[in-house]
Chains A and B, each alone.
Chain A
Amino acid sequence: MIQQNLIKVGMADLNIATEGAVLKTTGLGSCVGLTLFDPIRKVAGMAHVMLPSSDIARETKMNLAKYADTAIPELLDRMVAAGAYIERMKAKMAGGAQMFAMSGHSDSLRIGPRNVESCIEMLHKFKIPILAQDTGGSFGRTIEFDSTNGLLSIRSVQFGIKEI
């Protein structure tokens, strides 16, 4: 039996995996789990993005993994350093749900969809194609990303496990 090496990605965190390791992040709500994969070099990357834009950041020491517009460049840097090529990369993503259907129209309630929009915009900027996504809805997701084949497995309470 092959012991799979599991690398945990926390909230507002990112990491990369090579040599068959699996990246995992749990409990994605309005956050987006963004994954990138270089199928030739088998380098996988995952970011657990919490907010759409770093413009609003007021923290003294910025956590790049937290914002869509800073997490993607940072993840790309880390993957390129591990031998991946941006031109070959393919993206998949999951999450960006709207956990509570509230009557208000406040922008903060649309945080999930805004996270997704912001990720898509950044991927376009780097000309990285989006192969598949499972975003939106009103439910949480746990995702695992396999660096051997680039398969993203998504688990949710209502819908069980699906792979994209």
Chain B
Amino acid sequence: MSLYSRFEAFELDVLKEVGNIGAGNAATALSRLIDKPVDMAVPKVSLLPFEEVAERVGGSEQIVIAVFLRVEGEAPGNMFFIIEEASAKRLLRQLLSIKAEVQEGYSEMELSALCEIGNILAGSYLSSLADFTHLSMAPSVPAVAVDMAGAILSYGLMQYGEMGDSALLIETTFLEDHQSLEGHFFLIPDPESFDKIFRALGVVGE
């Protein structure tokens, strides 16, 4: 596990702070959108075997709604905003008073709204991160999918595939006040991006 041994404890703390700042801003954006307080769990930074990544959102076969964005710029990576189905429906109802047009599945309008929410959140995550690190980071056009968590998340792990069997991800969980809404943010920097992030923050390894 060459990637893991490369990271010192304090470097993982730095990445945790990266998650904290980014997700903190995204949580504020979400809170403004739905006009309700949004809580945020302490970010987790973990090097997970591919198999276990999907476990974080309920298992490989769990059906989730995911907004995917590719992070472009000096520290590229992949970003997912993932919410469970029940939370997504609630979010749509609260935010847009969209009545569930179709009982099963999602209408084009609903998916487009979720995509935009993901876009706003990812944008605020990345812009605060870019301010903090002075690295340019911009999200690509978002794409949304409703499918098995394993199938979706594996897409963000490809860059790690050629290096080993695990990926480093920065994960933050959101909870709306009464836990009626739960969402996850995953930032999966490309393996090459870590050095740049560390250097930008003045933490230089040997």
Contacts and interface: CB of A to CB of B under 8 A. Distances in A.
Chains A and B belong together in one complex: yes
A26 B148 contact: yes
Given A100-B68, A102-B70, A104-B140, A30 B158 contact: yes
Q: How large is the interface on B (under 10, 10 to 19, 20 to 34, 35 or more residues)?
A: 20 to 34
A36 B175 CA distance: 45
A139 B150 CA distance: 11
Given A101-B143, A102-B143, A59 B151 contact: no
Contact of A27 (B146, B154, B159, B161): B154
B145 A99 contact: yes
Interface stretch (B10-18, B23-31, B162-170): B162-170
B51 A29 contact: no
Interface string A37-58: 0000000000000110000111
A33 to B, nearest CB: 11
Contacts of A138: 145
* Top 9 A-B pairs, shortest CB-CB distance: A27-B150, A140-B151, A29-B151, A27-B60, A100-B143, A140-B148, A26-B60, A11-B50, A140-B147
A119 interface: no
B152 interface: yes
Contacts of A59: 162-165
Interface string B160-189: 011111000000000000000000000000
A58 B163 contact: yes
A113 to B, nearest CB: 13
Nearest to A140: B151
29 contacts: A11-B50, A11-B154, A12-B50, A12-B165, A26-B59, A26-B60, A27-B60, A27-B61, A27-B149, A28-B150, A29-B147, A29-B151, A29-B152, A29-B154, A50-B50, A50-B154, A51-B162, A58-B163, A59-B162, A59-B164, A66-B161, A100-B145, A100-B155, A102-B141, A104-B70, A104-B140, A111-B155, A141-B151, A142-B60
Interface residues of A, number: 33
B2 interface: yes
A10 B54 CA distance: 12
B42 interface: no
B63 interface: yes
Contacts, number: 95
A159 B193 CA distance: 38
A57 B145 contact: no
A139 B151 contact: yes
Interface of B: 2, 50-51, 54, 59-61, 63, 68, 70, 140-141, 143, 145-152, 154-155, 158-159, 161-165
A104 B68 CA distance: 13
Contacts of B147: 29, 99, 139-140, 157
A77 B83 CA distance: 42
B2 A57 contact: no
B148 A157 contact: yes
Interface string A89-109: 000000001011111100010
B162 A57 contact: yes
